[in-house]
Amino acid sequence: MKGELDHEECLKQALQGAHTMFAMTRTIYDDQAKSREVRHGKAIADTTVATGVQYLIYSSESHAGNISGGTYPIDAYDAKADVEQYIRSLPIRSAFFALGTFMQNIGGMMATACRGRHLRDRQYPHP
């Protein structure tokens, strides 16, 4: 079911009567990417708890900034990891999975970072 992530009432309606919520936020790469990702993730989590949903499954990522000691932050990944930590603090059963990236991103938006000498300059760390 579709729910507008910036409208709490829409989310509440979408979650009415649900037992389990699977959430995967869509990253939009612009100057608001990280703040939007965190805002949407927390809205999903808060509304899931408020509507009495019993289980939340969240699509997360490894925190690249933390893993690399701050050398290679990736806003989209770091935001998802921050939301995961937030969800872990809430009174709801939860599970998390982190795919790393979608394969179509390798040939698209990540392609320029993976060509020639730039590969060593833009490592994407994994735990």
Question: 60-76 pLDDT, tens per residue?
Answer: 999 999 999 999 898 98
Produce one character per residue of 97-107: b if its CB has 16 or more CB atoms within 10 Å, e if not: ebeeeeeeeee
Taking phi over 0 as left and psi of -120 to 50 as alpha, with beta for the rest, 100 belongs to left
**What are the residue ranges spanned by the domains of the chain?**
8-121
How is residue 56 written in tokens?
């939340």
pLDDT score recorded for residue 29: 82
CATH 3.40.190.10 is held by the domain 8-121: no
Q: Are 75 and 57 in contact (CB under 8 A)?
A: no
Among 83-87, 101-105, 106-110, 119-123, the range scoring the smallest mean pLDDT is 119-123
Name the amino acid, one letter, at 95.
Answer: A
How is residue 107 written in tokens?
């040939």
pLDDT score recorded for residue 4: 83
Please compute the mean of the pLDDT values over residues 101-114 and round it to a whole number.
61
